[in-house]
């Protein structure tokens, strides 16, 4: 499928399943190396990161655990610029290595909020693994330790990314046609 329709909007294939697999394998290899001998807690950011987090953890060869949090900052195709916590963390993170797993960072507002919250609990370290970054939309000042790829500031769906909750199930990533 080169073109898909999601809620009346047309999207064109942008990132293939093969490229996604290559990126996940590369990131998992780096994480396995960097966390050798450790037992990190992965924190996936719902809803978007669940597919990336599942693919990533299956490639990890080190002992680890995973949990999820849920924040909201989007309505439709636009950021509301307001972050709301919908599901919080239940695990003890003090003294642990934390690896946040996110599907996409665009403005960075939600991730900046989450990273600041995590540091309050005094983890041993906090790192970020992110599949996609939109550098042209990024307005915050934090680093992404494990970045899959940079993409233009286009609206995308698939591989966990959605438009009003739809399109997450697409195995490849599609960008909105203008």
List active site positions: 106
Q: Are strands 146-150 and 9-15 parallel, antiparallel or unpaired?
A: unpaired
CA 51 – CA 56 distance, rounded (Å): 8
CA 36 – CA 2 distance, rounded (Å): 40
14 conformational bin, left if phi > 0, alpha if psi -120 to 50, beta if neither:
alpha
Cβ-Cβ contacts under 8 Å for 69 (sequence gap 6 or more): 43, 44, 45, 46, 85, 87, 88, 89, 114
Cβ-Cβ contacts under 8 Å for 123 (sequence gap 6 or more): 93, 94, 95, 96, 97, 98
Cβ-Cβ contacts under 8 Å for 22 (sequence gap 6 or more): none
116 three-class SS:
helix
């Amino acid at each position: 499928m080169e073109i898909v329709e999601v809620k009346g909007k047309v999207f064109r294939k942008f990132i293939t399943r093969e490229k996604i697999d290559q990126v996940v394998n590369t990131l998992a290899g780096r994480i396995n190396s960097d966390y050798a001998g450790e037992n990190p807690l992965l924190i996936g950011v719902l809803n978007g990161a669940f597919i990336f987090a599942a693919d990533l953890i299956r490639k990890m060869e080190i002992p680890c655990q995973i949990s999820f949090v849920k924040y909201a900052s989007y309505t439709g195709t636009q950021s509301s610029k307001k972050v709301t916590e919908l599901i919080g963390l239940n695990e003890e993170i003090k003294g642990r290595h934390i690896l946040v797993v996110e599907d996409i960072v665009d403005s960075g507002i939600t991730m900046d909020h989450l990273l600041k919250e995590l540091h309050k609990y005094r983890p041993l370290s906090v790192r970020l693994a992110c599949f996609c970054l939109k550098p042209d939309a990024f307005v915050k000042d934090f680093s992404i330790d494990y970045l899959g790829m940079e993409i233009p500031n286009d609206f995308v769906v698939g591989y966990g990314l959605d438009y009003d909750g739809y399109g997450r199930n697409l195995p490849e990533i599609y960008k909105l046609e203008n």
